Amino acid sequence: MTPTILTAFPRIPVGQWASDAIDWLTLHAGGVFDAISTVMSSLVHSLSNALLAMPVPVGVAVFVLLAWVVRSARFAIATLVALLLVVGMAQWDNAMLTLALVLIATLTAIIIAVPIGILAARSSGVSAVVKPLLDFMQTMPAFVYLIPAVTFFSIGVVPGLISTIIFALPPGVRLTELGIRQVPEETVEAGYAFGASPRQILFGIQLPLAVPTIMAGINQVIMLALSMAVIAGMVGADGLGKEVVSSISTLDIAKGVEAGLAVVIVAIYLDRLTGALGDKTLRRGSLLAQVQRRRRRTVLAA
Amino acid sequence: MTAISASGLYKIFGRRPGRGVDALRNGRTREDLLRDGLTAAVIDASFDVQPGEIFVVMGLSGSGKSTLIRMVNGLIPATAGQLEIQGREIEHLSPDALREVRRSTISMVFQHFALLPHRTVGENAAYGLAVQGVNRADREQAAQEALELVGLKGWGGHLPGELSGGMQQRVGLARALAAKTDILLMDEAFSALDPLIRRGMQDQLIELQQKLDKTILFITHDLNEAMRLGDRIAMMRDGRIEQIGTAEQILNEPANNYVAQFVHDVDRSRVLTAAAIMEPPPATLGSGAGPQAAHKLMRENHVQWLLVVNRDRTPRGVLWEDDVADAVRTHRTDLPWSPVHEMPTVHESVPLADLFALSAQHLSPIVVTDDRGGVRGVIPRVTLLAAAGSGEGRWGDEDAEAPPVSAGDQPSPSPASTVDAVVPGSPALAGAGSTAPVLQESDPR
């Protein structure tokens, strides 16, 4: 009996629909995609050019100093050692290209994610619509994004960037919403009770109090972007990803390990750096915190 | 003009709450509504708060008091009823107009302080002014003054997280004071504090109130706090106001069994004042009279002592039987004041708790006077003891489930039964100071 039921049940051509939709979009909205492509690629290229224009010692010094300013001297030393390893493995240029891709993708993702997160926090309706969309974006295998991205934007850095943004966006939205919803109701009430407008409450109370959670979200966005940036190498985005892909196709273990190690170093550096931005206890030993402490002491003394 | 005037306020949560109001007006109960998926938080609440008054709304959790206070500044809109702030209807105001009322007229202090952790104490205190767009110099000035008022001078540069709970709530109070509004809403403002700190804050609030003369609507679940702070108290249960009255009225004339059981455990000696328990002197004598007249009055009234009053009704002293008898025997013409017994005098607003020591030190009854020093009544020791204990027996313990009163920081009064055993047939508690004694030469009892 089972075969009849199976044959009687119609084949639902979801994939065909999606494919048709993408064809239609390519045909009718090509101009939009071209514009996005131009803007994105010029953004990534100018950032990667800037990073590559720095002499390597200056670049290393900048990242080490940043590590000290934001987190701690210990982290700065670890950064120095790790970056020298990247330079020693001849992966510096690739690392900078990947960094440019990750930074632009992260920035774009944040610009999209935070406002959506705010809307979702303020309206349960928006939240109900957004949540399944985010689930979809996060669980759909990342490679699947690459196919339409290539049809829209052709080979290069842009399809990689776009699929990276889509894949990395969800935690930014989720944690922004969570952060705002976590602000104690009484504190928001206090704002209203003293006559604050909804705008004053958003920017004066909700967002500042949500910052640690939002920063945790941004940290997640960066980590996801980095993992996706490697996959983006498959569609021709320059950087460590491309290096890894080419080492797979040539079974070059040595190159694969070196490129992979460089990815790990960039990932850990970005994670620790952004982690310290969101968590006060992590940046106690930072240069920034020391300066602030000194300034407060003089204010309190006066 | 009344500061806050509420009449027939309803707040019902749920879908189409209006039908709940109609149902309640038609005599359906809160439980009936619950079955229809409606929660009646406030039911038919009417009250007026006069300018300069501390009006306490007292109730257990779930009684609707927090909803009620939030309706006053529009944080929660009423489902039905009228609410006027200084004569202005606030129910149908536009959001902008409502914001204006909150900025200019009503400020609020919260149970868990609700300070902004990322801003300094000074910035927190200035929050209300910052929202209004007051310039930095002016609001820093106002914040500093407010912090000084609450005893936090010099803490402006610290972050709230560095302060203790009591100090944080002072910042909350300073924030409300800096806004310079006439009306102050205090939502369980001291409930999150330790008993000792809470006590200190209550004292400070009373002191500030004498200085600033704000209108304060204070919410609490602590009966002792309500009695201590409130000029008048509204007792709330299940969304309804059961009784509104002064602490003494609620203690002595509870409107129903619920209120009676609630106040059962209260420390009466801190709530009742001398005026509430004093009785008319059994016999008084003009200060111009002689020992013979005194002797006659004592015999007629079967009393052992007499209160002597001057022409302006101020107390002159107390005469004792033995001294008067001696004076008559020795044909003295002036009144024989006792060489050992002094006459203790107190103002009528002194709480009972402060009378015990006085009563213990003097054999003479305590004489109660009004603002001008005139005699209003007397409190013999027996009366004092009976009043302290008379919570028991009047309402009984038939329902053992008296509502829990939050642990106050004051010791409970001595067990009433013990006192009753010592003083059988003690005079009943005088009613709420309403019985002004008639002062006549001979007041037959």
The CATH number that applies at residue A126 is 1.10.3720.10
- The pLDDT assigned to B136 comes to 92
Chain B: give the shortest CA distance to residue A292, in Å: 13
| A299 in contact with chain B, both atoms CB, cutoff 8 A | yes
pLDDT-above-90 percentage for chain A:
55
Residues 6+ apart with CB under 8 A from A41: A156, A157, A158, A161
| B118 in contact with chain A, both atoms CB, cutoff 8 A | yes
Domains defined for chain B, CATH in brackets: 4-267 (3.40.50.300), 268-445 (3.10.580.10)
Contacts of B73 in chain A (CB under 8 A): 193
CB B304, CB B296: distance < 8 Å: no
In this prediction, does ipTM exceed 0.85? no
* Local confidence band at B396 (pLDDT 50, 70, 90 cut-offs): very low
Cβ pair B131:A196 closer than 8 A:
yes
Give alpha helix (H) positions in B302-424.
Answer: 321-329, 355-361, 381-389, 416-422
- The pLDDT assigned to B71 comes to 93
Interface mutation vs chain B, best among A194, A279, A297, A300, most B CBs within 10 Å: A194
Cβ pair A193:B116 closer than 8 A:
no
Q: How many structural domains are present in chain A?
A: 1
| Mean pLDDT in residue range B165-181 | 93
Which run of H or E residues covers position B218? strand B215-220
Cβ pair A296:B103 closer than 8 A:
no
CA distance A205 to B114: 11
A25-34, A191-200, A270-279: which is most confident: A191-200
In degrees and rounded to multiples of 5, residue B107 shows phi and psi of -120, 175
CA distance A117 to A238: 31
Give me A236's structure tokens. 């021709």
| Mean pLDDT in residue range B349-357 | 86
> What one-letter code names the amino acid at B244?
I
Q: Which residue has the higher pLDDT, A29 or A212?
A: A212
Residues 6+ apart with CB under 8 A from A127: A120, A121, A177
Chain B: give the shortest CA distance to residue A191, in Å: 8
- The pLDDT assigned to B46 comes to 95
Give me B137's structure tokens. 């110099």
What CA–CA distances, in Å, run from B27 to B20, B35, B242?
A: 11, 15, 17
A64-68, A226-230, B366-370, B371-375: which is most confident: A64-68
Contacts of B131 in chain A (CB under 8 A): 191, 194-197, 200, 204
- The pLDDT assigned to B390 comes to 61
DSSP code for B405: P
Give me A68's structure tokens. 């000290």
* Residue B286 CB neighbour total at 10 angstroms: 14
Q: Name the residue facing B128 among A184, A189, A194 (closest C-beta).
A: A194
CA distance A224 to B144: 48
> What one-letter code names the amino acid at A83?
L
Distance of CA A2 to the CA centre of its chain: 48
Q: Name the residue facing A195 among B132, B157, B158 (closest C-beta).
A: B132
Please report whether residue A193 resides in a domain.
yes
| B100 in contact with chain A, both atoms CB, cutoff 8 A | yes
| B132 in contact with chain A, both atoms CB, cutoff 8 A | yes
CA distance A139 to A26: 25
Residue with tokens 């990667």: A48
DSSP code for B192: T
On the question of pLDDT at B302 being above 90, the answer is no
- Establish, for the pair of chains A and B, how many residue pairs have beta carbons separated by less than 8 Å: 64
pLDDT-above-90 percentage for chain B:
36
| Mean pLDDT in residue range B406-434 | 36
Backbone conformation region of residue B154, classed left if phi is above 0, alpha if psi is from -120 to 50, else beta: left
Alpha carbons within 13 A on the beta-carbon side of A289 = 16
On the question of pLDDT at B406 being above 80, the answer is no
Q: Could you read off the pLDDT of B372-389 as tens digits, one per residue?
A: 888 888 998 888 888 777
* Local confidence band at A2 (pLDDT 50, 70, 90 cut-offs): low
- The pLDDT assigned to A78 comes to 96
- The pLDDT assigned to A22 comes to 86
Give me A279's structure tokens. 């968590």
| B153 in contact with chain A, both atoms CB, cutoff 8 A | no
Q: Minimum mean pLDDT among A8-12, B95-99, B120-124, B241-245: which range?
A: A8-12
Q: Name the residue facing A300 among B73, B115, B157 (closest C-beta).
A: B157
| A294 in contact with chain B, both atoms CB, cutoff 8 A | no
Q: Minimum mean pLDDT among A103-112, A148-157, A254-263: which range?
A: A148-157
Give me B219's structure tokens. 């919410």
Which chain A residue has the Cα nearest residue B123? A204
Cβ pair A187:B111 closer than 8 A:
no
Residues 6+ apart with CB under 8 A from B234: B47, B55, B56, B57, B58, B241, B243, B244
Domain that holds residue A37: 30-301
- The pLDDT assigned to B55 comes to 96
Please report whether residue A18 resides in a domain.
no
Contacts of A200 in chain B (CB under 8 A): 131
On the question of pLDDT at B424 being above 70, the answer is no
Interface mutation vs chain A, best among B110, B115, B140, most A CBs within 10 Å: B110
Which chain B residue has the Cα nearest residue A212? B118
| A300 in contact with chain B, both atoms CB, cutoff 8 A | yes
- The pLDDT assigned to A283 comes to 82
Give SS3 for B237: strand
Q: Which residue has the higher pLDDT, A47 or A2?
A: A47
Distance of CA A187 to the CA centre of its chain: 31
CA distance B223 to B268: 11
Please report whether residue A11 resides in a domain.
no
Backbone conformation region of residue B396, classed left if phi is above 0, alpha if psi is from -120 to 50, else beta: left
Q: Name the residue facing B131 among A194, A296, A299 (closest C-beta).
A: A194
* Local confidence band at A6 (pLDDT 50, 70, 90 cut-offs): low
Please report whether residue A233 resides in a domain.
yes
Residues 6+ apart with CB under 8 A from B431: B252, B253
**3-state secondary structure string across A254-283:** HHHHHHHHHHHHHHHHHHHHHHHHHCHHHH
Q: Could you read off the pLDDT of A60-73 as tens digits, one per residue?
A: 999 999 999 999 99
Distance of CA A24 to the CA centre of its chain: 29
Please report whether residue A1 resides in a domain.
no
Give SS3 for B243: strand
DSSP B46-105: EEEE-TT-EEEEE--TTSSHHHHHHHHTTSS--SEEEEEETTEE-TT--HHHHHHHHHHT
CA distance A44 to A30: 21
| Mean pLDDT in residue range A218-243 | 87
- The pLDDT assigned to B218 comes to 95
- The pLDDT assigned to B130 comes to 93
Mean model confidence pLDDT for chain A = 89
Pairing of strands B4-13, B80-85: antiparallel
- What percent of the residues of chain B are helix, what percent strand, and what percent coil, each to the nearest 5? 40, 20, 40
Chain B: give the shortest CA distance to residue A177, in Å: 19
Q: Name the residue facing B112 among A186, A200, A300 (closest C-beta).
A: A186
Of the candidates B361, B311, B317, B314, which has an alpha carbon nearest to the alpha carbon of residue B335?
Answer: B317
Q: Minimum mean pLDDT among B112-116, B290-294, B440-444: which range?
A: B440-444
Contacts of A184 in chain B (CB under 8 A): 112, 114
| B102 in contact with chain A, both atoms CB, cutoff 8 A | yes
- Assessment of whether the complete model's pTM goes beyond 0.80: no
Residue with tokens 């976590």: A182
Chain A: give the shortest CA distance to residue B157, in Å: 6
| A186 in contact with chain B, both atoms CB, cutoff 8 A | yes
- The pLDDT assigned to A302 comes to 63
On the question of pLDDT at A81 being above 90, the answer is yes
Q: Name the residue facing A299 among B108, B112, B157 (closest C-beta).
A: B157
Pairing of strands B4-13, B39-49: antiparallel
CA distance A223 to A227: 6
Q: At what angle do helices A14-28 and A142-153 cross, to 10 degrees?
A: 30
- The pLDDT assigned to A5 comes to 65
Residues shown for chain A: 302
| B114 in contact with chain A, both atoms CB, cutoff 8 A | yes
- The pLDDT assigned to B418 comes to 33
| A184 in contact with chain B, both atoms CB, cutoff 8 A | yes
On the question of pLDDT at B442 being above 80, the answer is no
On the question of pLDDT at B6 being above 70, the answer is yes
On the question of pLDDT at B435 being above 50, the answer is no
Cβ pair B114:A300 closer than 8 A:
no
Q: Minimum mean pLDDT among B9-13, B319-323, B395-399: which range?
A: B395-399
- The pLDDT assigned to B407 comes to 41
CA distance B157 to A217: 31
Contacts of B106 in chain A (CB under 8 A): 193
| Mean pLDDT in residue range B88-111 | 91
| Mean pLDDT in residue range A250-256 | 91
- The pLDDT assigned to A126 comes to 94
Cβ pair B106:A209 closer than 8 A:
no
On the question of pLDDT at A181 being above 80, the answer is yes
- The pLDDT assigned to A67 comes to 93
| A301 in contact with chain B, both atoms CB, cutoff 8 A | no
